[in-house]
Chain A
Amino acid sequence: MSQFSASLISRRSLLKTSGALVISASFISSCGNADTSARPNNTPADNIDINAFLSIDTNGIATIFAPNPEIGQGVKTSLPMIIAEELGIAWESVRVEQSEIDSKYGNQSAGGSMSVNRLFNPLRIAGAKARMMLTQAAANKLGLPIEDAIVENGFVTIGDSRLSFGELVKDAALLPEPDPKMIKLKAVSDFTLLGKRVGGVDNPSIVTGKPLFGIDQKIPNMHYATYTKSPAYGGIPKTVNIDEIKAMPGITHAFIVEGKGAPAALKPGVAIVGTSTWAVIKARRSLSVEWNTEAAETLDWDTFVNDAKETVAKPGPQIHSDGNAENAFKTASKIIESTYSYPFLPHAALEPQNCIANVTGTAVEIWAPTQTPTRGKNQIAAVFGFEKENITLHQTRCGGGFGRRLENDYIAEAVAISKASGVPVKVQWTREDDFADDYYRPGGVHGCKAALNEDGKLVGFSNHFVTFSADGKKPLGPAVYPNQFMPRHLVDNFKVDQSLQPLKMPVGWWRAPVSNAFAFVINGVLSEAAHAAGKDYKDFLIDLMGDARVLPKGWGGGMDTGRAVGVISDAARLANWGRDMPKGRALGLGYCYSHSSYVAEVVDVEVFEDKTIKVHNVWVSADAGPIMNLSGAEHQCVGSVIDALSTMMNLKVNIKDGVVQEQNFDTYPLMRSTNAPNIEVNFIETALKPTGLGEPAFPPLAPAVCHAIFNVTGDRIYDMPLSKSGYSFST
Chain B
Amino acid sequence: MTISLKINGKAVSTDKDPETPLLWFIRDEVNLVGTKFGCGIAQCGACTVHVDGVPIRSCITAIEDIDGSDVTTIEGLASGDKLHALQKAWVELDVPQCGYCQAGQLMSAAALLAENPRPTDEDIDVAMNGNLCRCGTYPRIRAAIHKAAKEG
B27 CB within 8 Å of chain A: yes
Chain A residue at minimal CB-CB distance from B129: A672
Chain A residue at minimal CB-CB distance from B104: A350
Give, as a whole number of angstroms, the nearest-CB distance from A460 to chain B. 38
A571 CB within 8 Å of chain B: no
A278: chain B residues at CB < 8 Å are 17, 19-21, 24-25, 28
Which residues of chain A (534-570) have a CB below 8 Å from chain B?
none
Instruction: Given A216-B33, A399-B99, A635-B97, decide whether A350 and B38 contact each other with a Cβ distance below 8 A.
Output: yes
Give, as a whole number of angstroms, the nearest-CB distance from A215 to chain B. 7
Q: For the complex, what is the distance from the CA of A352 to the CA of B41, rounded to whole Å?
A: 14
Chain A residue at minimal CB-CB distance from B86: A207
Q: Is the CB of B91 within 8 A of A199?
A: yes
A224 CB within 8 Å of chain B: yes
Q: Is the CB of B134 within 8 A of A638?
A: no
Task: Select the stretch in A234-242, A303-311, A463-471, A639-647 that faces chain B.
Answer: A639-647
B139 CB within 8 Å of chain A: yes
B46 CB within 8 Å of chain A: yes
Q: Is the CB of B132 within 8 A of A352?
A: no
A676: chain B residues at CB < 8 Å are 136, 138-139, 142
Q: Is the CB of B98 within 8 A of A400?
A: yes
Q: Is the CB of B99 within 8 A of A197?
A: no
B75 CB within 8 Å of chain A: yes
Q: Is the CB of A350 within 8 A of B96?
A: no
Q: Is the CB of A213 within 8 A of B100?
A: yes
A71 CB within 8 Å of chain B: yes
Q: Is the CB of B31 within 8 A of A218?
A: yes
Give, as a whole number of angstroms, the nearest-CB distance from A630 to chain B. 10
Q: Is the CB of A203 within 8 A of B137?
A: no
Q: For the complex, what is the distance from the CA of A192 to the CA of B106, rounded to whole Å?
A: 33
Task: Select the stretch in A14-22, A145-153, A579-587, A663-671 that faces chain B.
Answer: A663-671
> Using an 8 Å CB-CB cutoff, how does the interface string of A219-247 with B read, 1 for contact, 0 for none?
00000100000000000000000000000
Give, as a whole number of angstroms, the nearest-CB distance from B50 to chain A. 13
Give, as a whole number of angstroms, the nearest-CB distance from A109 to chain B. 16
Q: Is the CB of B36 within 8 A of A642?
A: no
Q: Is the CB of A203 within 8 A of B94?
A: yes
Q: Is the CB of B78 within 8 A of A208?
A: yes
A400: chain B residues at CB < 8 Å are 98, 100, 134-135
Instruction: Given A430-B40, A666-B43, decide whether A350 and B139 contact each other with a Cβ distance below 8 A.
Output: no
Q: Is the CB of A215 within 8 A of B96?
A: no
Q: For the complex, what is the distance from the CA of A349 to the CA of B46, rounded to whole Å?
A: 12
- For B91, give its contact among A204, A348, A398, A428 (CB under 8 Å): A204
Instruction: Given A72-B97, A206-B99, A215-B36, decide whether A673 and B27 contact each other with a Cβ distance below 8 A.
Output: no
Give, as a whole number of angstroms, the nearest-CB distance from A660 to chain B. 16
Which residues of chain B (36-59) have a CB below 8 Å from chain A?
36-41, 43-44, 46
A279: chain B residues at CB < 8 Å are 17
B125 CB within 8 Å of chain A: yes
Give, as a whole number of angstroms, the nearest-CB distance from A510 to chain B. 13
Which residues of chain B (50-96) have a CB below 8 Å from chain A?
73-75, 77-78, 83, 86-87, 90-92, 94-96
A contact face: mostly helix, strand, loop, or mixed? loop
- For B39, give its contact among A209, A276, A632, A664 (CB under 8 Å): A664
Give, as a whole number of angstroms, the nearest-CB distance from A404 to chain B. 11
Chain A residue at minimal CB-CB distance from B126: A674
A672: chain B residues at CB < 8 Å are 129, 132, 138
Instruction: Given A224-B28, A665-B44, decide whether A74 and B97 contact each other with a Cβ distance below 8 A.
Output: yes
B141 CB within 8 Å of chain A: yes
A277 CB within 8 Å of chain B: yes
Q: Is the CB of A352 within 8 A of B37?
A: yes
Chain B residue at minimal CB-CB distance from A426: B28
Q: Is the CB of B125 within 8 A of A674?
A: yes
A12: chain B residues at CB < 8 Å are none
B128 CB within 8 Å of chain A: yes
Q: Is the CB of A642 within 8 A of B17?
A: no
Instruction: Given A208-B78, A249-B17, A635-B140, decide whether A203 and B135 contact each other with a Cβ distance below 8 A.
Output: no
> Using an 8 Å CB-CB cutoff, how does the interface string of A191-210 with B read, 1 for contact, 0 for none?
00000011110111011111
Give, as a whole number of angstroms, the nearest-CB distance from B108 to chain A. 10
Q: For the complex, what is the distance from the CA of A218 to the CA of B34, rounded to whole Å?
A: 13
A397 CB within 8 Å of chain B: yes
Q: Is the CB of B128 within 8 A of A673?
A: yes
B133: chain A residues at CB < 8 Å are 350, 673
Q: For the complex, what is the distance from the CA of A198 to the CA of B27, rounded to whole Å?
A: 31
A480 CB within 8 Å of chain B: no
Q: For the complex, what is the distance from the CA of A399 to the CA of B34, rounded to whole Å?
A: 12
Q: For the complex, what is the distance from the CA of A78 to the CA of B46, rounded to whole Å?
A: 26
A216: chain B residues at CB < 8 Å are 33
B95: chain A residues at CB < 8 Å are 203
Q: For the complex, what is the distance from the CA of A430 to the CA of B38, rounded to whole Å?
A: 8
A689 CB within 8 Å of chain B: no
B99: chain A residues at CB < 8 Å are 72, 200, 202-203, 206, 212-213, 397, 399
Q: Is the CB of A215 within 8 A of B78?
A: no
Q: Is the CB of B135 within 8 A of A665?
A: no
A678: chain B residues at CB < 8 Å are 139
Q: Is the CB of B90 within 8 A of A643?
A: no
Give, as a whole number of angstroms, the nearest-CB distance from B69 to chain A. 19
Q: Is the CB of B33 within 8 A of A277?
A: no
A638: chain B residues at CB < 8 Å are 136-137, 139-140
Q: Is the CB of B74 within 8 A of A639?
A: no
Chain B residue at minimal CB-CB distance from A224: B28
B128: chain A residues at CB < 8 Å are 673
Q: A249-B17, A635-B94, A672-B129 are in contact. List 10 more A-B contacts (CB 8 A).
A: A207-B91, A209-B32, A209-B35, A276-B28, A399-B98, A400-B98, A639-B135, A641-B136, A665-B44, A666-B43
Pairs of residues from A and B, 10 with the lowest C-beta to C-beta distance, nearest first: A209-B34, A72-B98, A642-B136, A399-B100, A209-B74, A639-B136, A72-B97, A206-B99, A665-B43, A676-B138
Q: Can you give 6 contacting A-B residue pairs, CB < 8 Å?
A: A203-B94, A351-B100, A638-B139, A639-B136, A643-B136, A672-B129
Residues of chain B at the chain A interface (Cβ within 8 Å):
16-17, 19-21, 24-25, 27-29, 31-41, 43-44, 46, 73-75, 77-78, 83, 86-87, 90-92, 94-103, 106, 124-125, 128-129, 131-142
Residues of chain A at the chain B interface (Cβ within 8 Å):
70-74, 197-200, 202-204, 206-213, 215-216, 218, 224, 249-250, 276-279, 281-282, 348-352, 397-402, 428, 430-432, 631-632, 635-636, 638-643, 646, 664-666, 670-674, 676, 678-679
